[in-house]
Amino acid sequence: MFRKPRPHARVRLLCFHHAGGAALAYRSWVDRMPPFIDVCPVQLTGRGNRYGEAPFRSVDMLVDTLLNAIKPLLDLPVALFGHSMGAALAFATAAKLEQQSQQVVHLFASGRRAPLSVYTTALHRLSDPALEAYLRDLGGTPDIVFSDAELKETVFELLRADLALNDGYTANAPLSQIPITALGGCDDRHVPLPALDAWQGLTQARFTRQLFDGAHFFVRDSEIEVIQHVATTLAATVEH
Residue that wins the pLDDT comparison between 228 and 141? 228
CA 43, CA 22: separation in Å to the nearest integer? Answer: 6
Other Cβ atoms less than 10 A from the Cβ of 121: the count is 13
Tell me the pLDDT band of 173, cut-offs 50, 70 and 90. Answer: very high
With respect to residue 214, please indicate whether it lies within any of the assigned structural domains.
yes
Is the pLDDT confidence value at 68 over 80? yes
Q: What is the mean pLDDT of the chain?
A: 93
Q: Are 55 and 28 in contact (CB under 8 A)?
A: no
With respect to residue 189, please indicate whether it lies within any of the assigned structural domains.
yes
With respect to residue 2, please indicate whether it lies within any of the assigned structural domains.
no
Q: Residue 213: which of 202, 205, 224 has the closest Cα? A: 224
With respect to residue 86, please indicate whether it lies within any of the assigned structural domains.
yes
With respect to residue 6, please indicate whether it lies within any of the assigned structural domains.
no
Q: For the segment 80-132, what is each residue's pLDDT rounded down to a tens digit?
A: 999 999 999 999 999 999 999 999 999 999 999 999 999 988 999 999 999 99
CATH code of the domain covering residue 226: 3.40.50.1820
State the residue range of the domain holding 132: 11-239
Tell me the pLDDT band of 52, cut-offs 50, 70 and 90. Answer: confident
Catalytic residue chosen out of the listed positions 84, 127, 147, 222: 84
Average pLDDT for 125-141: 91
Residue 54's pLDDT is 85
Residue that wins the pLDDT comparison between 30 and 48? 30
Clarify whether 84 is annotated catalytic. Answer: yes
What's the domain count of the chain? 1
Is the pLDDT confidence value at 158 over 60? yes
18-51 in b/e form (b: 16+ CB < 10 A) is bbbbbbebbeebbeebeeebbbbbbbbbbbbeee
Is the pLDDT confidence value at 1 over 60? no
Average pLDDT for 139-148: 88
Is the pLDDT confidence value at 166 over 60? yes
With respect to residue 1, please indicate whether it lies within any of the assigned structural domains.
no
CA 85, CA 25: separation in Å to the nearest integer? Answer: 13
With respect to residue 40, please indicate whether it lies within any of the assigned structural domains.
yes
Is the pLDDT confidence value at 240 over 60? no
Residue 140's pLDDT is 81
Average pLDDT for 10-26: 94
Residue 217's pLDDT is 95
Q: In what order do the strands lie in the sheet with 11-16?
A: 37-42, 11-16, 78-83, 104-110, 180-185, 207-212
